[in-house]
Copies of this chain bind each other. A is one copy, B any other.
Amino acid sequence: MFKYSHKVQFYETDMMGIVHHSNYLRFYEEARVAFAHSLGWIDYQKPESASQFAVLETRVKHRRPLFFGDEVEILIQGRVEGVRVIFQYKMRARGEDISVAETSHAALDKDLKVKRLPADFAEKLGNGQWTETWL
């Protein structure tokens, strides 16, 4: 299973002394991009390869806060549902469960219309490995 790490930066905190909740979507995006890159779907030399998917929906559940300096670990799993790609995420830090999340996406063509996914997309994504739902 793909695992991603992020170290919490000072500028990611807010006046409550914890990471602002909007930044979780950024950490989850970091994990998703790294995962897509590991599958050969994002080529850093061709930035447009990262712009082909629109975000349709995001959902984040918070259990414990994140603090400055925390080493965050994110697990990610993906699945295809029709024209949608669904990702789920588990975030841990300090030996604790911090947050779980789900985001869904669709591939867009040049006119921003939803288009079909390539035939082998689901297989590459590891549909078979998604054996439990995380939220």
Min distance, Cβ A53 to any Cβ of chain B, angstroms = 9
- Interface locus among A8-16, A79-87, A126-134: A8-16
Number of A residues whose C-beta is below 8 Å from B? Answer: 39
* B56 pairs with A69, CB closer than 8 A: no
Q: Does A39 contact B (CB under 8 A)?
A: no
Number of this chain's copies in the assembly equals 4
Min distance, Cβ A81 to any Cβ of chain B, angstroms = 15
Q: Does A40 contact B (CB under 8 A)?
A: no
A-side residues, CB < 8 A to B, are 9-11, 13-18, 20-23, 25-26, 29-30, 33, 42, 44-45, 47, 50-51, 54-62, 65, 67-70, 112
